[in-house]
Structure 1
Amino acid sequence: MILEKVITRIEIQNEYKDFVDKYTDNLLTEFKGKIHSIYMCGSIPKGTAKPFKSDADFTIVCANPQDIDYERLSNIKDRMLEEYPLVTKIDTIICSMDDVLSNPNDWGFWIKIICVCIYGDDVGVKVPPIVISPEFIIDLNRETKKEVDRVHSSLSNVSDSTLKTRYIKGYSKRLIRALYSLVLEDTGVWQDDIIMMKNAILNYCEIDSTLVDYLYACYLDSDVPVEEFLGIADEVYSYFENALNAMAVSRTSFD
């Protein structure tokens, strides 16, 4: 089964159009000649963003990511957030064209399936069709342990309440996304709607449903004790890791 694109048509709401255009223009001006293409994912290009609640997710594809200076990029973000307070946060990922074309089950998946091109030539069209398979699911999760360990460490040492809320919300979503990847062969589609992800996990995963419901509740309201959350998160990740390892063993046994 072939994975289809999450966003098939750009439907940016009127209140966000000026923001998207101005941020794009700022990037192109600041890094003139360095950017190949710019992409978005999430609620803004889908037309479902909520003012003062939704963030903005961009991806820059360029020949050399080192050409995009993070300090200059951060300055642009700060100015834009001040000018457009309806946007809660701006995330901007940077990758190279080679990242996209040489890693079809990682960066290729991100650009081809998750993102939609808002400027330049869409390099995603050059990525071969992505077939849902155990190999793809395993490749998709190669960085999951590193990401989980990083957020776990940050959350263990956090003192700022705003950061705590952000980490718990992000960690919850990352774990739900990881669990959802396990059921791709059952659903046949990649979902970016967290409620639909949660429901699919409950339908197809053998994990204790209370753990999934807890993560979803934390995604909605992150005001929970850190130690309690980390205990649940560890239990969920342990289930995920065991399931992924079993998938790898099963794949090997059929080779």
Structure 2
Amino acid sequence: MADPHRGLDAQGYIAREGSLGRVQEPFRPVVAAARDRLLDVFGARLTSAYLYGSVPRGTARPGRSDLDLLLVLRAGPTEADRADAGTLDAALDKEFPQVDGVSTLVYGRERLLSAAETYDMGWFVACLCTPLLGEDLAEYLPRYRPTSRLARETNGDLAARLPRWRERIARATTADERRTLDRIIARGLVRTAFTLVMPRWNGWTGELDEMAEVFAEYYPEWGPRIRAAAAAGYAPTGDAGALRGYTEELGPWLADEYARVHGTKQA
């Protein structure tokens, strides 16, 4: 039997990590407001809406954690759809101090159920997203084990992400912009580090600090760097030296090691 503490069910498949029942009391009003306003804004265009991240896992920290949403539209999203989502994000973030930012991903239903996304966004929906509204696309997706294929298809594109991160860092001019990048990049690196060793560990966790500790079991020499990135993922400072270290030291090493162990994700 699989170890339930490693995020697997009795058959060894990755168990869905969140539920609405785990949403803590301080975050219930913002989740309720998000649900109602999504229906108002997107109406019949919306086929599904999900929560993901620390809020549905029940580990969010009031005033420090963000609210993450995924919307699924009947047709591919337009720029107007993304703009509507951004406006809603900003309004929720301003109104509810218990969240430190609101971020919404917008996808079309056909893309999420496509063969190309089965082991990337399909897995994300089936295992990391908690249904909030509408149909649950997990019904149309396979079950997933913590395999090398899953590792490659979810995070095997780190080498391609590094140049984009460098460009965004170069364009950042304010402390807030640098803190935002610190959080995004640090989280991306920690999750990639964890999925590098996920098949050997044979489990799943969504918590950054646990991801860092699991990784450090296999790569102790890089453990301090990943632990520091996990801390920045929770409380980013925007330190210029840390950002440079992500893209010029830790990131390139991790991309090379990932390619060696799991291969590179095909576009």
TM tier relative to shorter chain: 0.7 to 0.9
C-alpha contact (below 8 Å) 1:186/1:204 kept by paired residues: no
Q: Pick closer, same or farther for the CA change 1:215–1:224 going to 2, 3 Å.
A: same
Cα separation, partners in 2 of 1:126 and 1:205, compared to 1, 3 Å: farther
Question: Is residue 2:43 matched to residue 1:32?
Answer: yes
Counterparts in 2 of 1:11 and 1:211: CA distance versus 1, 3 Å: closer
Which range moves more in the overlay, 138-147 or 84-93? 138-147
SS in structure 1 opposite 2:21?
Answer: coil
Query: Per-residue deviation at 1:20?
Result: 1.1
**Inter-partner Cα distance in structure 1 for 2:87 and 2:242:** 36
* 2:5 aligned residue: none
1:55 counterpart = 2:66: yes
CA–CA distance in 2 between the matches of 1:196 and 1:189?
12
Task: Name 1:185's counterpart in structure 2.
Answer: 199
**Pair 1:158–1:188, CA change in 2 (3 A):** same
Structure 1's 97 and 162: CA in aligned 2 closer, same or farther, altered over 3 A?
Answer: same
Give the aligned CA root-mean-square deviation in angstroms. 2.2
Which segment drifts farther, 225-234 or 97-106?
225-234
| Aligned twin of 1:108 | 122
Cα gap change, 1:16/1:9 in structure 2, threshold over 3 Å: closer, same or farther? closer
Q: Does 1:77 align with 2:89?
A: yes
* Equivalent pair of 2:146/2:204 in contact (CA under 8 Å): no
Unpaired runs of at least 5, structure 1: 250-255
Cα offset, 1:85, TM superposition? 2.1
Partner of 2:76: 65
Structure 1 CA distance for aligned equivalents of residues 246 and 101 of structure 2: 27
TM (normalized to structure 1)?
0.87
Give the equivalent residue in structure 2 for 1:11: 22
Query: Deviation at 1:172?
Result: 1.2
- Partner SS for 2:230: helix
Amino acid corresponding to residue 112 of structure 2 in structure 1? V
Amino acid at match of 2:66: D
2:22 is paired with a residue whose SS is coil
Question: Residue 155 of structure 1: CA displacement?
Answer: 1.3
Distance in 1 between residues matched to 2:45 and 2:165, nearest whole Å: 31
Tell me the matched-pair count. Answer: 249
- Percent identity of paired positions between Structure 1 and Structure 2: 18
Cα pair 2:65 2:234 within 8 Å, conserved: no
TM-score, normalising length from structure 2?
Answer: 0.84
Q: Is the 8 A contact 2:112 2:118 kept in 1?
A: yes
Q: CA deviation at 1:228?
A: 5.0
The aligned runs of 1:98-247 (5 Å cut-off) are 98-102=110-114, 103-205=117-219, 207-223=221-237, 225-247=239-261
Contact 1:133 1:185 in 2 (8 A): yes
Q: Provide, for residues 35-90 of structure 1, a one-character-per-residue CA deviation record: whole Å limited to 9, x for no partner.
A: 11110012222222222111100001122232562222222222222221222111
Shift of 1:208: 2.6
**Aligned residues of 1:99 and 1:108 also touching (Cα < 8 A):** no
| Residues 1:143 and 1:36: Cα distance change in structure 2 (over 3 Å) | farther
SS in 2 for 1:57: strand
Measured in 1, the distance between the counterparts of 2:87 and 2:93 equals 10
Contact 1:176–1:212 (CA under 8 A) maintained in structure 2: yes
Instruction: Give the whole-Å Cα distance in 2 for the aligned partners of 1:224 and 1:87.
Output: 19
The alignment partner of 2:56 has SS state of helix
Please identify, of 143-152 and 33-42, the stretch whose mean Cα deviation from structure 2 is larger. 143-152
- 1:20 equivalent among 21, 28, 31: 31
TM-aligned CA distance change 1:196 to 1:140, over 3 Å: same
Equivalent residue in structure 1 for 2:54, among 30, 33, 43: 43
8 Å CA contact retained: 1:155, 1:168: no
